[in-house]
Structure 1
């Protein structure tokens, strides 16, 4: 499952001796650590997650508390000292919210939406793709043709239409994101499960006989996880980007749930008037987060796919 190390250890031992006694997970971590770019990206992702989790302790202001907001502090530049007595290091937005606090809280919402939608899409797509591969016949043909038809449409267009029909709301947006992304997991799961279905150990399991649920859940699905993990890392970043796009277009989260996309949208109308910070800073954080997740996902893909070489 995991690729052998392509380099010898610094002490000159062969790869087989260097990896002797190590678990697959330990070898995976050691090989991941060899890529400095991926390690830096992982640290960036972990740092962003930590500041998002502890946002209430770090943020100087609660952007949801209307009692802490005043229009006298609205659209002030970075470094402005507000009426509350503390410095707004990244400036304020049109509602007088401290932009640093709004970004920290917006990160929490964006990460929650990405992880929630990505997890549901992973489970749904894995079940659909594995079921199609195991059952076969006309059921497989119908399911996969529907998946292929859905993949022919851009994900953002499909999510936009569904979100516009369902209306604004957290769960409405989750449904739109899952509907736009589960097909990628289903296609990947179908390919991996089809390869496992033709192997001898599956035929032996069916001849015992073992129950269908046991064969699928204990044999086929676990051996199909590596490519699904790779797709999951990419699709989480895609879900965060897609949520930001929909919120920017006005069909995502409601104004009471200001994600990074909503913050960018709120400041877009002030870009030409010189108040760039309202949109630029949330946009920079969003780009850094998505880029870091994609770099981590690329390294995981390289390690879990034996056909890819560094």
Structure 2
């Protein structure tokens, strides 16, 4: 481990809540990655679902011979298995959308700061216009137009989020552009793209990492919201939002576990990621430390 990374970790672990949150995120990611080997049932395989096992309470021993520790949903899916696969989908959508939005937003923000003039005005007015719309409204419209599926959903999430990265990158790049080392680099016969990618962009990464962490959590929450409304992934790929929606109609009949357990998993994941992002923000910006 490099000295800088070691010092960063030493400071990070001073906040035990952030350490617990990081451990929770690591456990959830590991559980999602190894879901096919951990889950007792494949919730995507509709041929193996038994309607006789539907809406059974936690601890029920199904006709398949194993214990449904968290119960089953209305289709007879083992909830523990469905939650593991749902976490997998949520992380895939959140990380993919966050990575694409980070790339697009960063390039636009740095380009606006470096080019200036009409290019800067055009890009930033577009970003400001997009930020004036609620993310959920924009995502709803795009998903309704593009249809269901992973690619349309990622497009909707990226469109709803790239402006946050663009605004952050623009602010950081504008501050870096005024510094002496950038002026010195511009005074040499270096191409503009090298000044941007070798000098300005690396110093813009710390705030972008913090925003990226928060936006991954926001993308997961937004995907769950769209799936809950029936506009996310198809029913054959049950995400956490869809699992919550499937059990919503049974809440008043006492079968609360169908919605409660996926909801708890979603809340734990989002809160843990946000706590990690909050700690990263404090470390990358010493002025925000308590």
- What is the TM-score with the length of structure 1 in the denominator? 0.92
User: Deviation per CA, 1:192-219, whole angstroms, max 9, x where unpaired?
Assistant: 0001111111111111111111111111
Give the deviation of 1:66 after TM superposition.
Answer: 2.2
Partners of 2:191 and 2:287 in 1: how far apart? 33
203-212 or 213-222, larger mean C-alpha shift: 203-212
Q: CA deviation at 1:308?
A: 1.1
Match of 2:3 among 9, 19, 23: 23
- Aligned partners of 1:77 and 1:180: how far apart in 2? 38
For the pair 1:163 / 2:135, whether they are aligned, the reply is no
Instruction: Tell me which protein shows more helix as a share of its residues.
Output: 2
Please say if 1:59 is aligned against 2:36: no
Counterpart pick for 2:24 among 15, 34, 44: 44
Corresponding residue number in structure 1 for 2:98? 118
Q: Mind listing any 5+ residue stretches in structure 2 that lack a counterpart?
A: none
Under a length normalisation based on structure 2, what TM-score does the superposition of the two structures give? 0.98
Q: Distance in 1 between matches of 2:103 and 2:78?
A: 38
Q: 1:266-305 maps to which residues of 2 (within 5 A)?
A: 266-305=246-285
**What residue is the counterpart of 2:165 in the other structure?**
185
Q: For 2:82 and 2:16, locate their aligned partners in 1 and report how far apart those are by CA, in whole Å.
A: 31
State how 1:1-310 maps to structure 2 within 5 Å.
23-310=3-290
1:33 CA displacement? 0.5
CA apart distance, 1:23: 2.1
Kindly state the Cα deviation for residue 272 of structure 1 after the two structures are TM-superposed.
1.0
The CA distance in 2 between the partners of 1:39 and 1:301, in whole Å, is 14
SS of the equivalent of 2:287 reads coil
- Equivalent residues, number: 289
The structure whose Rg is larger is 1
Q: Deviations over 1:59-90 (max 9, x none)?
A: 11111122321110011111111001111011
CA shift for structure 1 position 274? 1.1
